[in-house]
Amino acid sequence: MSSPVGRDPLEPKAGRDTVRRHNLSLVLRAVRDSGEITRAGVSARVGLTRAAISSLVEQLLESGFLSESGKTFSGQAGRPGTVLKVARTGVAGLGIEINVDYVSVCVVDLAGTDRVRLVEHLDNRGVPPGQVLRRAAQIAARALTSAAEQELSPVGATLALPGLVSSGTVRQAPNLGWTRVPAEEPFAAALTALRPRLPVLPVRSENEANLAALAELWFGGLGTVRTFLYLSGEIGVGGALVLNGELLRGAHGFAGEIGHAVVVPDGAECRCGARGCLEQYAGQSAMLKATGIADANGTAAVAELERRARAGDERALAALDRAGLMLGRVLSGAVNLFDPAAVVLGGIYRPLSPWLIPRASAELSARVVSGLWPRAGTRLRPSSPAADAARGAASLVVLDVLTDPVSYGERAAAG
């Protein structure tokens, strides 16, 4: 599938192949980042000759990664070229977020567009992990059917999970009640059983806040910000650190766990076994309980909280003010420690941010010692609605394709 053009027989195959694979990735990413571009444009952008670019583009067209239209750019010097775009069919990524009270699945194409989205609200607390993974596989299988209707063929899947994930296993997810649960293999087996005729998808797993943070970096509104802290408000409170555009994973891959910072010493007992954790004061259940809303249906309940806050309901406003204060306490410590350029509030904190941000910002500007946290700034901000963990999960697969398209060539051509 990766027959290099005009290979010098004296040159070792491996070295030559490696360079060509790298260049194919450069060209594919140049087209992806440009949206639409001519071969001459790619040549200027990548810094290779027109002849080299033409050969690389041919291979990417044949393998189904690029598409071409007759449109030419006027105003360009030289022979008018046809316009290249990344293919909107073929290779794609599958992302599955399993959270405490919902499962969200999406399929992302090479351009990074969310092409299929399927969300089901189900309470996963107390449900055996195997059953949760099988239900998630059922939803994923339905998403694959929708993807096939759009001629999209996911070449890999990423599971986004609300806990500490390493080597394919959920080490701990207190709000799901999972401890040392293998996730990748049972999910892959369930999906394969449901879609036996499709190729077996490689499945990986990752912390959901990490994936949401990557989605924010890639698709959100952060502009030039490349170092930030991401908070994901759900039943639990997840977090992720991004340093210079890369996830900061720490020594064991567990960095970013902000939900169990102490905000009330000797306070309420937490599912992690300790007391007074942030989750007990700024988590979804805590805010709903303080407002007097039943916690049975997560999304509807959060919408109800938002509605009441908008209507000026005193209990709702007090609950959100208290959650904002607690968030501000923990965030000021995290900002002093990590010195991010921005803090992004995702998950349920996004719709609730108009009520959370004022109090949290006041706490931040009082406590951030660098004096770099002006009260009226935009450094504490809601996440972008276009960026969530499922999209980040699917995009991680697409990133692999962009990094080494040759490995995915056959499937794309077949797809």
> Rounded to the nearest whole angstrom, what is the least distance from the CB of residue 236 to a copy of itself in the complex?
10
Tokens of 28: 């594919």
Write out the two tokens for 247.
Answer: 């996830």
Residue 124 CB neighbours (<10 A): 24
Question: H or E element: which one contains 380?
Answer: strand 380-382
Of how many residues is the chain composed?
415
From the CB of 232, what's the least distance to a copy of itself, in Å? 14
Find the largest Cα–Cα distance for the chain. 79
Minimum CB–partner distance for residue 258 and a copy of itself (Å):
6
Query: Looking at beta carbons only, is 152 or 364 nearer to a copy of itself?
Result: 364
CA–CA dist 356, 309 (Å, integer): 11
Strands 228-233 and 237-243: antiparallel
Torsional class of 284: left (φ above 0), alpha (ψ -120 to 50), beta (otherwise): alpha
Minimum CB–partner distance for residue 113 and a copy of itself (Å): 30
Cβ closest to a copy of itself, residue 66 vs residue 356: 356
- Which residue's CB is nearer to a copy of itself, number 172 or number 384? 172
DSSP conformational letter for 99: -
Closest approach, Cβ 362 to a copy of itself, in A, equals 11
Residue 345's Cβ-count burial label (10 Å; 0-12, 13-18, 19+) is buried
Q: Which is nearer to a copy of itself, 257 or 388 (CB)?
A: 257
Q: How far apart are the first and last CA of the chain?
A: 14
- The least CB distance from residue 89 to a copy of itself, in Å, is 40
Neighbours of 189 (CB within 10 A): 15
Nearer to a copy of itself, 11 or 339 (CB): 339
* Nearer to a copy of itself among residue 21 and residue 226 (C-beta): 226
Long-range contacts: 109-113, Cβ < 8 Å, 24+?
109/152, 109/398, 110/32, 110/65, 110/86, 110/398, 110/401, 110/402, 111/32, 111/35, 111/85, 111/86, 112/32, 112/218, 112/219, 112/395, 112/398, 113/88
Question: What minimum distance in Å lies between the beta carbon of 119 and a copy of itself?
Answer: 27
State which residue, 93 or 276, has the beta carbon closest to a copy of itself: 276
245 vs 292, beta carbon nearer a copy of itself: 245
* Under 8 Å between Cβ of 264 and 258: no
CB of 248 to a copy of itself, least distance (A): 7
Shortest distance, CB of residue 363 to a copy of itself, whole angstroms? Answer: 9
Q: Which residues are at the interface with a copy of itself (CB under 8 A)?
A: 164, 171-172, 174, 225, 227, 239, 241, 243, 248-258, 260-265, 272-274, 277, 329-330, 332-334, 336-341, 366-367, 369-372
Q: Decide whether 177 or 253 has the Cβ nearer to a copy of itself.
A: 253
Nearest to 29, CA basis, from 106, 110, 90, 105 = 110
